[in-house]
Amino acid sequence: MTNVCALTDIAPDTGVCALHEGEQVALFRIGNTEQVFAVSNYDPFGKANVMSRGLIGTKGDRYMVASPLYKQHYDLATGECFEDENIKLKTWTVQVKDGRVELV
Amino acid sequence: MSKKRIVVVGNGMVGHNFINTLVTSDHASEFDIITFAEEDRLAYDRVQLSKYFSGSSADDLALTTEAEYQSQGVIYTLNDKVVEIDSHAKTITTASGRKEGYDKLVLATGSFPFVPPIPGKDQDHCLVYRTIEDLENIEASAKVSKTGVVVGGGLLGLEAANALKEAGLETHVVEFAPRLMAVQLDEGGGKLLRRKIEDLGVQVHVEKNTKEIVAGEECRYRMNFADGSFLETDMILFSAGIRPQDELARQFGLDIGERGGIVVNDYCQTSNDDIYAIGECALWDNKIYGLVAPGYQMAKVAFNHIVDSLITHQEPALAFQGADMSTKLKLLGVEVASIGDAHGHTAGSQSYVFNDDIAEVYKRLIVSADGKKLLGAVLVGDSEAYGTLLQLMLNDMDIPGNPASLILPASDGAEPVGLGVSALPETAQICSCYDVTKGDISKAVQGGCCTMPDIKGETKATSGCGGCTALVKQVMDAEMEALGMEVNTDICEHFSYTRRELADVIRVKGYSTFAEVLANEGNGGCGCEICKPAIGSILASFNNEYVLKDEHIGLQDTNDIFLGNMQKDGTYSVVPRVPGGEITPEGLIAIGEVAKEFDLYTKITGGQRIDLFGAQLHELPTIWEKLIDAGFETGHAYGKSLRTVKSCVGSTWCRYGVLDSVSMAIALENRYKGLRAPHKIKFAVSGCTRECAEAQSKDIGVIATETGWNLYVCGNGGMRPRHADLFATDLDDETLVKYIDRVLMFYVRTADRLQRTSVWMENMEGGLDYLKDVVINDSLDICEDLERGMTRVVGAYQCEWKTTVNNPERLKRFQHFINADEEDKNLFYVRERGQRRPATEAERIELVELASNPVAGGE
């Protein structure tokens, strides 16, 4: 388990990137809540480490992030790409404890 | 079962298409595929070759990459020519001595340029135009030449002439026949084409038979013609047609046509059943097809036949049946199209001709004796009717109504006569490059495609030459309508409003955050990458608050959220504002110092400023601190907002300037900087009617006259250029600004999401007159309100970067990792022309290897 940052380090409805066991992880915070998602920071289409800079929102009842480069959508909970069923971002489990964000 | 081995000789467009068909087919795993390329690069787009001179690189033209072939399991060898076929042992041997066995051999050797046997043709600056290497030679020769001659006034010859003209040479075209493009055009069409091309500064000489090329007096060479005349030139490009590259087939006993070409049957088999020939080297029914679409068709036929005979053991299902040679293209900027029997050779055929010397348009229709069927057409100067006419001919349809109406210009207000796509049969081929029929497109729509990118992704239609785009869109729309699908105008699932309606609601109800809008007007959910930036932009247009404020930061798209333009590798480009394009030497030096310190790739933009590329996220704040210290402000290059006001030097220096365009440009840029809008906005101000600032291609264009400013609106460069409309004349400074305030605010309030002013104008009911009525006559009684809105935005301006660098809390976001000081290790660069650029995929692989396996020292 890694304690990566304070919850308040992530402005509501935005993302940041954390280094976790040598991997780049994109963390997104839903609104002004304690709900935080973690997916790989690597954009498989754009081939760059940018996912944390994507815009988040909902598609139906799924939370999603849109790639900042070419706008593919990914399910924040499962990492699945909405446009290409063969593509999936790695995901991590996140805990928020005492105002800190932890990656499992 | 062991894999079957296919050897493809030649890696041109058609050879590559064959390989691509194979590796993407269901049978890919049942074959080993090997290809040999004579050139030192894999297949590239020869059709777009002339783009090499307008800035495309060899990489841009590439149809594939070595990495892609490797990942597809294609074995390829560059720079090695197949020199021997042993059809008994079923092997080939290359120039380097390599031997490969095959089950099936595919010859896709293409063609070579024909150079007429003229004494003196083999000198240094006598070149041909076919490969990238040829282009490199032409480029080198052009650098030491002033005048260039193209021998041959056909399609390729004119493209070559364009290349010479682009290279800055005085360009001549020498043609043996009495007119240009004699194969495709009739006399009238050829004549007009010649006139238009000569207007562009290319001199055309017809009925010239070159006797010899000797040393010149004024230039390097002199071409002596049979009629006693001569022409001096520094270089000569031969483009007098192509000849099939059949040498290998000829040497090893395959049947060859009387005038060249490897004879093939309907399955593209040569006289040896296990050897196929496709593309320009193949002779089918005594015809060579020098276009790419028939070549692709042959590739498909040959591949199907190979599968049928080796794998499925079925009767061949697909046969080559000849191909239509109709063509539409732009030569030296002139639209030219030729369809079917363009010369009216069919017995009893009749024709209709439309000739407009003023607009320089020529159109001729060839119809059947009974006037019911279209047999052919020639279009010069305006080829819009091409799609309709081609479909009429290909599908043997009855001409709807009077044939003349197909080529007559539409009278005022009337829709141009087109062909309802519903009239086309399902089998009508819409995209000839990828053989996509109307039925294929309809099926794609039924399967859920409802945008052009969807259709393109599903069917590949429009991804070749793109000539079918308009028709594909029509078929798609018609099918959607037929299915009763409504074109939903809601901005996205979260709001049942258009952007314009959202703007009205936000303005009238006075909302100031996205959360309020979502709670009161939304359909649930959290919003998305469509509605968030749109509403963020609307809020900014009305209130102009700092976009990185807590309430707004989550609405900002890719670029706005870090106040920079994200590039392909995730780094940013930085553009300081340079109002009016005026910059002091100190300012230039300051920008240069920053670029040097951070090793930023530096390029002058079209909007008269300087773009600095390759800044990493964590470098942005320091870069901006330095720029701000040097007196610069953000240029908003990242925003859908006012970009630049370009200007010419105006009356202060120019001998012809009548007003001070620079001062006006600076004033306008400083007034509207920071204004966020549905899309980017560009201005220009010219100091006289010579229009050096190109104001008529801008959203807002201002041109000085002896009697005041002329205001132009809603112009656009880019993908679909539009000349700006003259909106008002002879304005004083104050009225000019007042009108611009009103036009821009009206645009901000009423335009669609991501709609440039040009499209906004085109979709406006009542058009230019309506806009004049609103802005000049205040017909809606809103002008005061519009001006008030603009005053508010102007008053609330702040340099977003200045605000950001003074805000430590905000700066936290400008680092790659929230929990580490490290940089992104995935960035790789190489140096080119003295600057840094992102490494290509292949270079990146090398750099990674180098980093992980440094070359060992000798031990």
User: Could you read off the pLDDT of B248-262 as tens digits, one per residue?
Assistant: 999 999 999 998 999
B332, burial (CB in 10 Å: exposed 0-12, middle 13-18, buried 19+): buried
pLDDT recorded at residue B362: 93
Interchain pair B819, A4: CB under 8 A:
yes
Q: Which residues, listed in sequence order, are joined to residue B566 by a DSSP beta bridge?
A: B572
Alpha-carbon gap: B456 to the closest alpha carbon of chain A (Å): 15
A58 touches chain B (CB under 8 A): yes
Q: How far apart are CA B505 and CA B511, in angstroms?
A: 8
Per-residue pLDDT at B765 exceeds 50: yes
Percent of chain B with pLDDT strictly greater than 70 = 97
Interface test with A, best of B819, B822, B840 (most A CBs within 10 A): B819
Chain B segment 558-597 residues within 8 A of A by beta carbon are 558, 561-562, 566, 568-570
Tell me the residue range of the domain where A19 lies: 2-103
pLDDT-derived band at B844, boundaries 50, 70, 90: confident
Closest partner CB to B816 (pick from A17, A55, A64): A17
A71 touches chain B (CB under 8 A): yes
pLDDT-derived band at B856, boundaries 50, 70, 90: very low
A38 touches chain B (CB under 8 A): no
A87 touches chain B (CB under 8 A): no
A103 touches chain B (CB under 8 A): no
pLDDT recorded at residue B50: 76
pLDDT-derived band at B316, boundaries 50, 70, 90: confident
pLDDT recorded at residue B855: 53
Rg (CA), chain A: 13
Alpha-carbon gap: A102 to the closest alpha carbon of chain B (Å): 12
Helices marked H in B104-263 — which ranges?
A: 132-143, 155-166, 187-199, 247-251
Span B511-556, pLDDT tens digits: 999 999 999 999 989 999 999 999 999 999 999 999 999 999 999 9
Q: How far apart are CA B126 and CA B854, in angstroms?
A: 47
Q: Taking residues B826-832, report their average pLDDT.
A: 93
- CA B279, B282, B287, B290 dihedral sign is positive
Q: Taking residues B474-478, report their average pLDDT.
A: 83
Per-residue pLDDT at B412 exceeds 70: no
CATH number of the domain encompassing residue A37: 2.102.10.10
pLDDT-derived band at B419, boundaries 50, 70, 90: low
Interchain pair A14, B816: CB under 8 A:
no
Interchain pair B818, A53: CB under 8 A:
no
What residues in A contact B495, CB-CB < 8 Å?
none
Interchain pair B529, A46: CB under 8 A:
no
Say how many C-beta atoms besides its own lie within 10 A of residue B806's C-beta.
11
Edge-to-edge strand list for the sheet holding B275-277: B74-77, B31-36, B4-9, B104-107, B275-277
B553 touches chain A (CB under 8 A): yes
Q: Count Cβ–Cβ pairs < 8 Å, chain A vs chain B.
A: 101
- Phi, psi at B341, each rounded to 5°: -80, 75
Provide the ipTM. Answer: 0.95
Q: What's the maximum distance between 2 C-alpha atoms anywhere in chain A?
A: 38
What residues in A contact B561, CB-CB < 8 Å?
14, 53, 55
DSSP B264-328: E-TT-B-SSTTEEE-GGGEEETTB---SHHHHHHHHHHHHHHHHIIIII--------------EE
Geometric angle at alpha carbon B790, from B784 and B794, rounded to 5°: 145
Angle between helices B13-23 and B292-307 (to 10 degrees): 40
pLDDT recorded at residue B469: 76
Alpha-carbon gap: A49 to the closest alpha carbon of chain B (Å): 7
Q: Taking residues A53-74, report their average pLDDT.
A: 94
| B251, two tokens | 């040497």
B821 touches chain A (CB under 8 A): no
Percent of chain B with pLDDT strictly greater than 90 = 67
- Tokens 């013609």: give the residue: B225
Alpha-carbon gap: B240 to the closest alpha carbon of chain A (Å): 44
Q: Taking residues B304-332, report their average pLDDT.
A: 87
Q: How far apart are CA B408 and CA B425, in angstroms?
A: 25
Do residues A43 and A49 make contact, with C-beta atoms less than 8 angstroms apart?
yes
Per-residue pLDDT at B453 exceeds 90: no
Range B584-591 contact pairs with CB under 8 angstroms and sequence separation of 24 or more: B586/B630, B587/B630, B587/B631, B587/B632, B590/B626, B590/B627, B590/B630, B590/B631, B590/B632, B591/B627, B591/B630, B591/B632
What residues in B contact A66, CB-CB < 8 Å?
528-529
Per-residue pLDDT at B624 exceeds 80: yes
A54 touches chain B (CB under 8 A): yes
Span B558-617, pLDDT tens digits: 999 999 999 999 999 999 999 999 999 999 999 999 999 999 999 999 999 999 999 999
What residues in B contact A9, CB-CB < 8 Å?
812, 818
What is the tally of structural domains in chain A? 1
pLDDT recorded at residue B1: 58
Sequence-separated (6 or more) residues with CB below 8 Å from residue B804? B548, B563, B621, B624, B810, B811
pLDDT-derived band at B414, boundaries 50, 70, 90: very low
pLDDT recorded at residue B488: 63
B358 touches chain A (CB under 8 A): no
B646, burial (CB in 10 Å: exposed 0-12, middle 13-18, buried 19+): buried
B526 touches chain A (CB under 8 A): yes
Closest partner CB to B529 (pick from A16, A43, A55): A55
Span A20-49, pLDDT tens digits: 999 999 999 999 999 999 999 999 999 999
Q: How far apart are CA B622 and CA B192, in angstroms?
A: 60
B845 touches chain A (CB under 8 A): no
Q: Taking residues B733-739, report their average pLDDT.
A: 97
| B504, two tokens | 């009205």
Geometric angle at alpha carbon B808, from B807 and B810, rounded to 5°: 70
Per-residue pLDDT at B859 exceeds 50: no
Q: How many residues are listed for chain A in this entry?
A: 104
pLDDT recorded at residue B463: 74
Q: Compute the mean pLDDT over every residue in chain B, rounded to the nearest whole number.
A: 90
Per-residue pLDDT at B411 exceeds 60: no
Q: How far apart are CA B290 and CA B241, in angstroms?
A: 10
Chain A residue at shortest CA distance from B827: A48
Inter-CA distances, B788 with B510, B599, B672, B742, B797, Å: 15, 44, 14, 9, 15
Interchain pair A66, B532: CB under 8 A:
no
Chain B residue at shortest CA distance from A4: B819
Alpha-carbon gap: B465 to the closest alpha carbon of chain A (Å): 23
Span B656-707, pLDDT tens digits: 999 999 999 999 999 999 999 999 999 999 999 999 999 999 999 999 999 9
Structural domains for chain B: 4-112+244-312 (3.50.50.60), 126-240 (3.50.50.60), 499-557 (no CATH), 565-795 (3.30.413.10)
